[in-house]
Amino acid sequence: MRAVVQRVSRAEVSVAGRCVGRISHGLLVYLGIAEGDTDADLRWMVDKILGLRIFADPQGQMNRALADVGGQVLSISQFTLMGDARKGRRPSFVAAMRPEHAKPMFERFVAQMAQGGAGDACGAFGAHMHVDAVNDGPVTLLLDSRKLF
């Protein structure tokens, strides 16, 4: 499981011109689910994101987590994070989990984020989406549950 995590001052996602998810302050998370990912990968990712201390404390140091600042998460499913572009010009997506298995896992991710106090804002799985965000910092992190990077 891979994630691109961006600290944002606001973010929203639209499908066919209609807003389906919006947050004001927090994290925009693009989540890629790989074939073979398990609930252990899911739990690791949720715990890691909720615990990231990437928000400023009164001294301006990145020392606060999402809950400390009352932030929210906007989750976007993005199978292209599993793309392999090492050969040729066309990425291969064979490492991505099949949609019929990835969708329930993504829904569990969103539910666990909500249980952790981050809200349940998300995009529409499998849809063509437009994401509008204002990066804060910018702060962008790459996470991998298998710790490949």
| Report field, pTM of the whole predicted structure over 0.95 | yes
DSSP-derived secondary structure letter, 98: P
What pLDDT is recorded for position 149? 80
CA distance 122 to 13: 8
> Is there a contact between 105 and 98 (Cβ–Cβ < 8 Å)?
no
Residue boundaries of the structural domains of the chain: 2-144
Top-level CATH class of 2-144? Answer: alpha beta
Catalytic residue ranges: 78-80
Is a pLDDT exceeding 90 seen at residue 141? yes
CA distance 99 to 102: 5
Give per-residue pLDDT as tens, 65-85. Answer: 999 999 999 999 999 999 999
